[in-house]
């Protein structure tokens, strides 16, 4: 079953060439598709189109429930509130214990503020928040680029543990990560 179906998408900003001209993409649960391209190639614009923040000039986008994981975990959390408070604002936390174990997070970390965690810990909290939202589709925008190489691999392995319940659309500029993590690579 498709959780994302993009058909004949056309989009461009005024006075610029089209970023997408008759672009189509299908993503199913259990799949990872990597969107790879240089800065300015339209990777983040595609996510904005999928979430409805901007509208296509033509074409259709059908999607299931979405959660997002952003490149910079520090900017995705409010700096003055505990992590758990921010997660509870958007997600049901009844199943949090099983997710904490799978994501290798200590429960007491959730009582801390974002600046009290390492980048890897905070990105795992971002993944926790996204998973607790019970999405079918995770839009992951460079989710490991702010992390060191060892932590990058750990975070992607953790995220991929959940492919039985989600599909992942991954933006990355890292060809090696795209090759390792994805079922399909779309170059922009």
> Exposure pattern of 73-82 as b/e (b: 16+ CB <10 Å)?
beebbeeeeb
- Quick: pLDDT tens for 121-134: 898 899 999 999 99
Contact between 32 and 183 under an 8 Å Cβ cutoff? The reply is: yes
CATH topology of domain 2-187: Rossmann fold (3.40.50)
Does residue 145 carry a pLDDT above 80? no
Domain ranges of the chain: 2-187
Q: Once rounded to an integer, what is the mean pLDDT over residues 153-166? A: 86
pLDDT at 146: 67
Quote the pTM value. 0.90
Position with higher pLDDT, 168 vs 75 = 168
Q: Once rounded to an integer, what is the mean pLDDT over residues 165-180? A: 91
Query: 154 pLDDT band (50/70/90 cuts)?
Result: confident
Largest CA distance in the chain: 51
Say how far apart CA 7 and CA 47 lie, in whole Å: 15
Q: Which of 38, 33, 2, 71 is nearest to 186 (CA)?
A: 33
Does residue 148 carry a pLDDT above 80? no
- Quick: pLDDT tens for 38-95: 888 899 899 999 999 999 999 999 999 999 998 888 889 999 999 999 999 999 999 8
Q: Which two tokens stand for residue 22?
A: 């008759």
In SS3 terms, the chain reads as CEEEEEEEEEECCCCCCCCEEEEEEEEECCCEEEEECCCCCCHHHHHHHHHCCCCCCEEEEEECCEEEECCCCCCCCCCCCCHHHHHHHHCCCCCHHHHHHHCCCCHHHHHCCHHHCCHHHHHHHHHHHHHHCCCCEEEEECCCCCCCHHHHHHHHHHHHCCCCCCEEEEEECCHHHHHHHCCEEEEC
Query: 156 pLDDT band (50/70/90 cuts)?
Result: confident
Q: Once rounded to an integer, what is the mean pLDDT over residues 104-121? A: 92
Does residue 119 carry a pLDDT above 90? no
pLDDT at 106: 93
Mean pLDDT over the full length of the chain: 91
Does residue 173 carry a pLDDT above 90? no
Contact between 57 and 11 under an 8 Å Cβ cutoff? The reply is: yes
pLDDT at 63: 96
pLDDT at 120: 84
């Amino acid at each position: 079953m498709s959780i994302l179906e993009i058909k004949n998408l056309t989009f461009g900003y005024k006075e610029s060439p089209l970023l997408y001209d008759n672009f189509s993409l299908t993503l199913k649960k259990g799949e990872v598709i990597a969107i790879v391209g240089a800065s300015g190639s339209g990777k983040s614009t595609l996510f904005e189109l999928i979430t409805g923040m901007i509208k296509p000039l033509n074409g259709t986008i059908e999607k299931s429930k979405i959660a997002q994981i952003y490149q910079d975990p520090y900017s995705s959390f409010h700096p003055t509130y505990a992590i758990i408070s921010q997660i509870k604002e958007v997600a049901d936390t009844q199943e949090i214990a099983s997710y904490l174990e799978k994501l290798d997070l200590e429960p007491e970390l959730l009582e801390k503020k974002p600046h009290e965690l390492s980048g890897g810990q905070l990105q795992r909290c971002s993944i926790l928040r996204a998973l607790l939202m019970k999405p079918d589709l995770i839009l992951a925008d460079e989710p490991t680029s702010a992390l060191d190489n060892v932590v990058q691999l750990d975070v992607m392995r953790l995220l991929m543990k959940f492919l039985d319940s989600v599909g992942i659309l991954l933006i990355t500029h890292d060809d090696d990560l795209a090759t390792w993590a994805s079922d399909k690579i779309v170059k922009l």
